[in-house]
Amino acid sequence: MIRDDKTDPNVTAGNTESLLSRDNAVALLGSCTPALVNAGALVAEHRKVPIVAGCDPLGAFRSVRKWNYAWVMFFDEGDLATAPFRMMSDYGISTNKKVVILADNGPDGVVVGGKIWPETAKAGGYSVEQNTSFPTDTQQFTSMLAQAKTTGADIVLVDAIPPQAIAMRKQMASAGFSPKVLVMEKGAEPEFFAQATGKLADGVLVGGYWDPSFPYPGAADLAKRFESETKQTQSQHIADSHAAAQVLMDAIAAAGTLDREKINAAIAKTNKSYVIGPVKFDATNTSAIPITLMQWQSGKAVVVWPKDRANGKLLFPLPQAK
């Protein structure tokens, strides 16, 4: 059974309760984003029904409570936030080591932009010249970008949702601000970022975790099937969603019953490679997916780091806007 959560945590919670009380579901698959996954997971936890999900950064999931019936496979925010610095070190990228941080004041923006990025920069010998936080509904970035341009920083790190990232990239070009390295977490991940910004997307980096080229069972086939059946371009989110279903189906088969407790116990014992890679849950009911860095190049998201999983070459420095 499928229920539309309408991107509303309250609807997610209500749908979850309905699936359990009215439809007698014995197990659940979660939604996407911390707000929605956690909302459903809290209901499932209270009702002692197993739920498996992706698309929920592990720190955000762990921070809610000690979980017993909710299970998540996704990346860790710390790995994501430190990836640009590790990439620059691995490739020996030459910059002036000056950094500008522009992050929204949402939960992950506060953690990544307010804590992890500045701490990682300092530890790596970088200097943070500007760190600006802004509301999640902001669309005008002219003044903060003007300030950023005056710092002369070669590295700009952005954490913002897609509409903001799109607006900011266009306003950077209008201001003639072109750093050597531009990372735009969250907002630059979906394909419509590249569609909306056109050539301005070239060279923009964003954290990732999956590509059909990765040597995981069924990875290439999943992408082909998705595009054939939907006539849409695949994105990495199909992988963790598919893997969540695989894990749950395997657990039900291993349990040999529809008993909720036995299914939950079987999920806990998961230790297998899936379309997303190896899955093994730890004591916090999470399984970490390794981080990659992707870069938009001619309208395509190319994996450029780490070297052993790259399927393209890093475009450096960021192309000048024309």
Read off the pTM.
Answer: 0.87
3-state DSSP call for residue 203?
A: coil
- Residue 43 domain-assigned? yes
Domain count, the chain: 2
Q: What is the pLDDT of residue 201?
A: 98
* CATH number, domain containing residue 17: 3.40.50.2300
- Residue 318 domain-assigned? no
Average pLDDT over residues 137-166: 96
CB atoms within 10 A of CB 217: 14
Q: Which H or E run contains 304?
A: strand 300-305
- Rounded to whole angstroms, how far apart are CA atoms 183 and 86? 13
User: Is residue 322 scored above 70 in pLDDT?
Assistant: no
3-state DSSP call for residue 130?
A: strand
- List pLDDT tens digits, range 106-124: 878 888 999 999 999 999 9
- Rounded to whole angstroms, how far apart are CA atoms 97 and 62? 33
User: Is residue 250 scored above 70 in pLDDT?
Assistant: yes
CB atoms within 10 A of CB 268: 14
**118-156 burial by CB neighbour count: b if 16+ within 10 A, else e?**
bebbeeeebebbbbebbeeeeeebeebbeebbebebbbb
Residue pair 98/153 in contact (Cβ under 8 Å)? The answer is yes
Report the chain's mean pLDDT, rounded to a whole number: 96
Residues 158 and 297 in one domain: yes
- Residue 224 domain-assigned? yes
Average pLDDT over residues 215-242: 94
- Residue 2 domain-assigned? no
Q: What is the pLDDT of residue 257?
A: 98
Percentage of the chain modeled with pLDDT above 90: 91
Residues 187 and 302 in one domain: yes
- Residue 123 domain-assigned? yes
- Residue 130 domain-assigned? yes
Residues 197 and 110 in one domain: yes
Burial of 186 (0-12, 13-18, 19+ CB in 10 A): buried
Angle at 105 between CA 101 and CA 106, to 5 degrees: 120
Residues 263 and 199 in one domain: no
Residues 124 and 57 in one domain: no
Residues 221 and 125 in one domain: no
DSSP bridge pairs for 98: 127
Residues 53 and 104 in one domain: no
Residues 54 and 103 in one domain: no
- Residue 237 domain-assigned? yes
Residues 119 and 175 in one domain: yes
User: Is residue 134 scored above 90 in pLDDT?
Assistant: yes
Average pLDDT over residues 138-163: 97
- Rounded to whole angstroms, how far apart are CA atoms 211 and 280? 20
- List pLDDT tens digits, range 24-66: 999 999 999 888 999 999 999 999 999 999 999 999 899 999 9
Residues 297 and 183 in one domain: yes
- List pLDDT tens digits, range 251-297: 999 999 999 999 999 999 999 999 999 999 999 999 999 999 999 99
86 pLDDT band, cuts 50/70/90, is very high
233 pLDDT band, cuts 50/70/90, is confident
- Rounded to whole angstroms, how far apart are CA atoms 145 and 316? 21
Residues 201 and 110 in one domain: yes
Q: What is the pLDDT of residue 168?
A: 98
Enclosing domain of residue 31: 9-77+216-288
- List pLDDT tens digits, range 187-226: 999 889 999 999 999 999 999 999 999 999 999 999 999 9
Residues 128 and 108 in one domain: yes
- Residue 315 domain-assigned? no
CB atoms within 10 A of CB 90: 12
Residue pair 158/103 in contact (Cβ under 8 Å)? The answer is yes
